[in-house]
């Protein structure tokens, strides 16, 4: 195991200064998520425009560096994407964290993929996978407009 | 007492964990097991196994005797006046659920109050919470002060004429505060209120004397006392066990079963329905013997030395913030590091073989009060040394380095 792979500079930086850590004005969808084992929680706010594109996305919450960095990077990457594109990116990311070696989606640039792949270090730390995936599960809930609290224990 | 010798009795320390010597600082969560406890489980299943209390064949009688010997050992260890005041459960959680359920059924009505504290583990809150719905009771919380303690005065303040039972922890698993149980019980009894003590953290670290404490109920977790998982003890004064209704129904707890009615068994069978964790109960006797051999006073002294050493060392470490400063404190240190989330601390420490816990430690009420979603926690057992504390401190420094903190 390699801590340096887990705590890459980009993770530490996003963890320390998370992007989009705020509440979107006039959000159209939102969802809460938590990790009951450790108490980490996020609340995702989503504003879709008339073309079903993500006009704005933001989050509130607290958690470890991995949780915060993952939410920070995720919110940056899905802005401007269409609803079905967001779903594709989420699925691709979760598949990568679960089992695949790389990201396959064509919707992200190589730079964006590289940034996202920084989170793949959690694969070696099964207890921390949930930190990386919490905001992504919560985003899915928000897209589905689910009133249920997304949980990492599904 | 020779800690190196004692440590050798724990096989877990024989092996490296991820190429490191194990520095186990998570005993408040669960303690490691000495060889005699592990061997006892193997031996019982290999040579002596039978179910207890039912058949009359040789193995059944022998197993029953062993099972009952643990009851007697526990009785003596905690100085209960009668061996039938010892009820085996699957853990302290079940022990508290047993009381909440049966006491609630018989003595709690709409508007009655259960007084607990903000220090309580979820296992001493959630079972009472169930009664909010089923019995429409209220739960009151004695507040924690700035030192992370709950004082006798605070308890007194929260008692009303609707208070029907007081449920308090002996030793906080977060701040380490040791509560003045004897004084709380004495005051509560003067008002005619029974007291339940969550002894999960008290039992492995403090001398227990039920005659001295005089509490009505005391819940014990076996796996935190160097014993197996799946075994706990409810100590309850005999008058309560005779008075309260049974908890679970099933085999072993009955006297006579007819289509038109059922009568229940005598103590202790009344509360031990179904096949119990036989091997664990029998092995738990070895945990008691282990504690008796070292002497709980020696363990208390050793853990106090470790605590003082750790508090001194970590207080000097910049950006480490120790949670609570109780006057009377057990071997638990919860802390935060400015700028590093506890889960990250735990992962980085783990890389050095230092096992701690991070999170809310099943005390969300307390963490909400502290304004912290999570803390990191190092907790001690009989096998810990000052070297372990040094390693903890070194690993914390490593953590700070990774996060670019001074």
Question: In this structure, is residue A151 part of a structural domain?
Answer: no
Q: Other C-beta atoms within 10 Å of B245: how many? A: 11
Whether B339 and B392 map to the same domain: the answer is yes
Q: How far apart are CA B178 and CA B190, in angstroms?
A: 22
Enter the DSSP assignment of B44.
I
| B364 lies within 8 A of chain A by CB | yes
Last residue within a domain, chosen from B292, B326, B361 = B292
For residue B344, give the nearest of A39, A41, A65 by CB distance.
Answer: A65
Whether B161 and B306 map to the same domain: the answer is no
Helical axes B58-78 vs B278-294, angle rounded to 10°: 40
Question: In this structure, is residue B146 part of a structural domain?
Answer: yes
Cross-chain residue pair A64–B348, CB shorter than 8 Å:
no
Spatial CB neighbours of B258, under 8 Å, sequence gap ≥ 6: none
CATH of the domain at A57: 3.90.1010.10
DSSP assignment of B332-370 equals EEEEEETTB-HHHHHHHHHHTTEE-EEE-TT-HHHHHHH
Whether B130 and B177 map to the same domain: the answer is yes
Cross-chain residue pair B373–A41, CB shorter than 8 Å:
yes
Whether B22 and B53 map to the same domain: the answer is no
Whether B272 and B316 map to the same domain: the answer is no
Q: Range of B220's domain?
A: 38-292
Whether B55 and B88 map to the same domain: the answer is yes
Residues constituting chain B: 406
Question: In this structure, is residue B394 part of a structural domain?
Answer: yes
Would you write out chain B's pLDDT as a tens digit for each of its 406 residues? 899 999 999 999 999 998 999 999 999 999 999 999 999 999 999 999 999 988 899 999 999 999 999 999 999 999 999 999 999 999 999 999 999 999 999 999 999 999 999 999 999 999 999 999 999 999 999 999 999 999 999 999 999 999 999 999 999 999 999 999 999 999 999 999 999 999 999 999 999 999 999 999 999 999 999 999 999 999 999 999 999 999 999 999 999 999 999 999 999 899 999 999 999 999 999 999 999 999 999 999 999 999 999 999 999 998 899 999 999 999 999 999 999 999 999 999 999 999 999 999 999 999 999 999 899 999 999 999 999 999 999 999 999 999 988 7
CA distance A38 to chain B (A): 5
Residues constituting chain A: 154
Element (H, E) at A140: helix A129-143
Cross-chain residue pair A39–B374, CB shorter than 8 Å:
yes
Q: Which residue has the tokens 């500079």?
A: A9
A/B interface, count of CB pairs below 8 Å:
54
Write down the pTM of the prediction: 0.93
Whether B304 and B379 map to the same domain: the answer is yes
Q: Name which of B344, B360, B376 to mutate to probe chain A: the one with the most chain A Cβ atoms within 10 A of its Cβ.
A: B344
Which residues of chain B from 11 to 50 reach within 8 Å of chain A, CB to CB? 18
For residue B341, give the nearest of A3, A64, A127 by CB distance.
Answer: A64
Give how many domains chain B has, as a whole number: 2
Last residue within a domain, chosen from B272, B292, B312 = B292
Chain B partners within 8 Å of A68 (Cβ): 341
- CA dihedral over A120, A123, A127, A129, signed as positive or negative: positive
Question: In this structure, is residue A152 part of a structural domain?
Answer: no
Whether B310 and B379 map to the same domain: the answer is yes
Q: How far apart are CA B196 and CA B123, in angstroms?
A: 12
Q: How far apart are CA A64 and CA A15, in angstroms?
A: 8
Whether B117 and B218 map to the same domain: the answer is yes
Question: In this structure, is residue A139 part of a structural domain?
Answer: yes
Question: In this structure, is residue A10 part of a structural domain?
Answer: yes
Q: B115 near B161, Cβ under 8 Å?
A: no
| A38 lies within 8 A of chain B by CB | yes
Last residue within a domain, chosen from B260, B292, B324 = B292
B399 catalytically annotated: no
Which residues of chain B from 365 to 384 reach within 8 Å of chain A, CB to CB? 367, 373-374
ipTM: 0.86
Question: In this structure, is residue A154 part of a structural domain?
Answer: no
Q: How far apart are CA B259 and CA B392, in angstroms?
A: 63
Residue of B nearest to A130 (CA): B343
CA distance A63 to chain B (A): 7
Q: Range of A38's domain?
A: 3-146
For residue A12, give the nearest of B343, B367, B403 by CB distance.
Answer: B403
Whether B138 and B169 map to the same domain: the answer is yes
CATH of the domain at B327: 3.90.1150.10
CATH of the domain at B134: 3.40.640.10
Q: How far apart are CA A125 and CA A74, in angstroms?
A: 20
| A124 lies within 8 A of chain B by CB | no
Cross-chain residue pair B403–A7, CB shorter than 8 Å:
yes
């Amino acid at each position: 195991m390699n801590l340096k792979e887990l705590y890459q500079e980009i993770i530490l930086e996003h963890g320390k200064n998370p992007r989009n850590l705020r509440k979107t004005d006039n959000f159209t969808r939102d969802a809460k998520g938590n990790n009951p084992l450790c108490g980490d929680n996020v609340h995702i706010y989503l504003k879709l425009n008339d073309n079903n594109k993500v006009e704005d996305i933001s989050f509130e919450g607290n958690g470890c560096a991995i949780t915060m960095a993952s939410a920070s990077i995720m919110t940056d990457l899905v802005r401007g994407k269409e609803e079905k594109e967001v779903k594709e990116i989420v699925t691709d990311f979760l598949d990568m964290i679960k089992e695949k070696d790389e990201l396959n989606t064509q919707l992200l640039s190589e730079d964006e993929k590289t940034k996202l792949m920084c989170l793949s270090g959690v694969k070696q730390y099964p207890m921390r996978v949930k930190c990386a995936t919490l905001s992504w599960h919560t985003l899915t809930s928000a897209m589905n407009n689910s009133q249920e609290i997304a949980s990492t224990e599904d | 007492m020779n800690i190196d010798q004692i440590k050798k009795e724990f096989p877990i320390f024989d092996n490296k964990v991820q190429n490191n010597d194990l520095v186990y600082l998570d005993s408040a969560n669960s303690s490691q097991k000495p060889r005699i406890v592990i061997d006892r489980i193997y031996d019982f299943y290999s040579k002596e196994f039978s179910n207890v209390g039912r058949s009359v064949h040789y193995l059944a009688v022998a197993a029953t005797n062993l099972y009952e010997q643990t009851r007697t050992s526990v009785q003596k260890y905690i100085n209960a006046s009668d061996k039938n005041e010892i009820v085996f459960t699957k853990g302290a959680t079940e022990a508290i659920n047993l009381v909440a359920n049966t006491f609630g059924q018989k003595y709690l009505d709409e508007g009655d109050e259960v007084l607990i504290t903000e220090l309580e583990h979820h296992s001493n809150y959630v079972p009472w919470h169930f009664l909010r719905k089923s019995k429409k009771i209220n739960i009151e919380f004695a507040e924690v002060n700035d030192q992370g303690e709950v004082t006798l005065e605070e308890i007194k303040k929260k008692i009303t004429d609707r208070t029907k039972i007081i449920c308090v922890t002996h030793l906080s698993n977060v701040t380490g505060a040791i509560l003045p149980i004897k004084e709380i019980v004495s005051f509560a009894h003067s008002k005619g209120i029974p007291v339940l003590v969550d002894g999960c953290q008290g039992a492995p670290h403090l001398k227990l004397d039920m005659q001295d404490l005089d509490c009505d109920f005391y819940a014990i977790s076996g796996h935190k006392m160097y014993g197996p998982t799946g075994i706990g003890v409810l100590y309850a004064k005999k008058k309560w066990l005779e008075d309260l209704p049974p908890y679970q129904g099933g085999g072993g707890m009955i006297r006579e079963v007819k289509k038109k009615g059922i009568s229940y068994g005598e103590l202790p069978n009344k509360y031990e329905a179904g096949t119990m964790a036989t091997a664990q109960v029998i092995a738990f006797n070895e945990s008691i013997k282990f504690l008796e051999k070292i002497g709980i006073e020696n363990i208390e002294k050793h853990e106090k030395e470790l605590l003082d050493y750790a508090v001194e060392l970590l207080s000097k470490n910049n950006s480490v913030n120790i949670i609570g400063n109780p006057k009377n404190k057990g071997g638990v240190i919860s802390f935060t590091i400015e700028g590093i989330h506890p889960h990250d601390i735990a992962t980085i420490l783990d890389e050095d073989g230092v096992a701690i816990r991070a999170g809310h430690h099943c005390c969300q009420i307390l963490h909400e009060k502290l304004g912290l979603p999570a803390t990191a926690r190092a907790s001690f057992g009989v096998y810990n040394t000052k070297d372990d504390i040094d390693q903890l401190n070194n690993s914390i420094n490593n953590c700070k380095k990774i996060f670019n903190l001074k």
